[in-house]
Structure 1
Amino acid sequence: MSAHPTEGGWKTVSKKKGVKKRRDNVKGGKGMPHEVEFLSVAEGERIQQKIKEAVEELRSSEFWTDCLETIRRAVNKYCTIPLASPSGPFLGSGAAESLEYKKDGVDHCGSTLDSVCYGIGNFSSSVSSRYQLALLFLMLETLQIPRACCLLFDPLFTDWEKRFLRECGMVVIKENEEGKRSIDRPTLFYMIHCGKALYNNLLWRNWSPQELAQTILIGNSFKGIEERLPARVLQRDYTYISRILAVTEEAAFPSSGRYMDVFNDTSIHQFPRKKLDAKPTEFWDSPAEPRYQQCEDLEIIQKGMECFSVS
């Protein structure tokens, strides 16, 4: 299977037969665990076509036009990035360019901004996940982020989905980080409808003015989380979300009836350096790693609980 269009069009490589057992996607509380058969060549081609159609549909939508403006304001506020035209060809030649960056051994690929995507779900079977992936493709293209600078992980990814993403030139993270990835340069985290613990873990791992100031997070509204959770639960289980609320700048994605179930409650979060620096030194001292021992509904798959394959 090839997941990116070449000059001659799309190509597909068949997969070995077998059965994959997995836990269902917990980020949205969807369904019960079930078995998923490996995709045939024809099924793989059909899904690739649906992804391509989702990209083109979003590209021509009013939602993307409005969303792009929201993203543009957020990114340009802290990072000087020349944004590309949003009307270019699907994926373009980015895969080849990304692979060249990887050959050169440049970790940041020469890009002003890195990208990390957690919890996008099974886009081979979920329509919502497919549109979320389509929006990611458009953002990478528009922000001129080489696909080798985009890292993805979901514990529920099938082998087919991992191969698809790699063929696109993206990097599939091999181990479940539980969102605990530290950064040292501007990074866009794309985490649509992820569990609250994942956002909390990310904040903990980057709990310093320098790192948080370089963090742009697209995910569930922190304001919405604050409104829905009792204050004692938020402070006990999701300490870092609770503590960062006062210095968070949040811009909501535009509302859309067409994509309401896909991008509802989604915002871009940023943490201005001036507000972070205004916090007293003790605010940043020795942050304790989240444990969630009293959390009744964790909403994420922790390390060691990932899906497994049977060949």
Structure 2
Amino acid sequence: MSACPAEGEWKTISKKKGIKKRRENVRNIPHREAEVLSVAEGERIQQKIKEAVEELRSSEFWTDCLETIQRVANTYCTAPLAPPLSPFLGGEGPESLEYKKDNIDHCQNTLDLVCYGIGNFASSVTSRYQLALLFLLQETLQISQDGCLLFDPLFTEWEKRFLKDCGMVVLKENEEGKRPINKPTLFYMIHCGKALYNNLLWKNWSPQKLAQTILIGNSFKGMEERLPARVLQRVYKYINHILAITEEAAFPSSSRYMDVFNDTSIHQFPRRKLDAKPTEFWEGAAEPTYQECEDLEIIQKGMEWFSVS
């Protein structure tokens, strides 16, 4: 069966173009939450997710991504372990894996994976492929299911239940990206609002924490090129401060997945560069407020209008 979307399905708005619509979409959440998917419809969506995973797995795009992801992740890896394949993907051990083992250096499970803003994967083709890549990251980097945490204020009850059935953790509260870490953590934030990245940096504003942070999301270089310098310095100052320290590797260009992974990079913050900054660079880090920001691009805590459980 072909994994390609049916004709017309690609008309779904891309996540980057749709960010500004997120606040408006919150008003429609109660109606979507009230909808109950039939068993057949739920199975159809799950099948589409599996097809997206297999399509990505066999794509040149994923092969090219692997080289960069592998190099970055090996910084945190030690002894080989058999990867814990998600039950959703139909495997329980290394014998069930369908990728080429010689393309991956298996490493000890040391990473957590936190995903923000993936969107409504039950209805959006773009979100579905982004979720498929998350499954492949989890598989490749040997991240346990309970080490994979997700949140999107727009998740429906069906989507939350599906993720929980996959063994993943659906966060109950809108953290606005303000999650402190105490171990190496990969943040998966495709096409999220700039405030979310800024908040994440602020909450972990120290050499110790940022050195353990890997971020897959919108290119910081792209933000610097597109935003007026005064806006970057005044509104998103933690992104602005970290630019000179960041090592960024762009995702490969792909016409097939242009709307899905465009402007996406893997960001790291090398300890040697962090330690080179003077002490005062890290002191007095004030929490961002965005009071003067007219287009915040994120749904703030308390705006969800529904219970995330």
Match of 1:268 among 258, 266, 269: 266
Distance 2:288 2:48 in 1: 39
Distance 1:27 1:111 in 2: 34
SS at match of 1:181: coil
Gaps of 5+ in 1: 1-23, 95-109
SS at match of 1:283: helix
1:128-147 to structure 2, matched below 5 A, reads: 128-147=126-145
Aligned residue pair count: 271
Q: TM-score, normalised by structure 2?
A: 0.82
Q: CA deviation at 1:251?
A: 0.2
Q: 1:113-145 CA deviation, whole Å, 9 max, x = no partner?
A: 111000000000000000000000001001111
Q: CA deviation at 1:79?
A: 3.9
Point out the more displaced range, 38-47 or 247-256: 38-47
Match of 1:205 among 179, 203, 206: 203
Distance 1:242 1:192 in 2: 19
Q: CA deviation at 1:83?
A: 8.2
Whether the aligned pair in 2 keeps the contact of 1:151 and 1:171 (CA below 8 Å) is yes
1:212-231 to structure 2, matched below 5 A, reads: 212-231=210-229
SS at match of 2:294: coil
1:149 aligns with 2:140: no
Counterpart in the other structure of 1:293: 291
Q: CA deviation at 1:246?
A: 0.5
Distance 1:41 1:125 in 2: 16
Whether the aligned pair in 2 keeps the contact of 1:155 and 1:307 (CA below 8 Å) is no
Q: CA deviation at 1:38?
A: 2.4
What is the aligned-residue RMSD (CA, Å)? 2.4
Distance 2:253 2:148 in 1: 26
1:1-311 to structure 2, matched below 5 A, reads: 28-30=19-21, 32-33=24-25, 34=28, 35-36=31-32, 37-80=35-78, 82=80, 90=89, 92-93=91-92, 111-308=109-306
Counterpart in the other structure of 1:7: none
Whether the aligned pair in 1 keeps the contact of 2:76 and 2:110 (CA below 8 Å) is no
AA in 2 matched with 1:77: T
Q: Identical aligned pairs, as a percentage? A: 79
Q: TM-score, normalised by structure 1?
A: 0.82
Q: 1:72-117 CA deviation, whole Å, 9 max, x = no partner?
A: 11112344474878x99935238xxxxxxxxxxxxxxx83111100
Distance 2:86 2:179 in 1: 32
Gaps of 5+ in 2: 1-14, 94-107
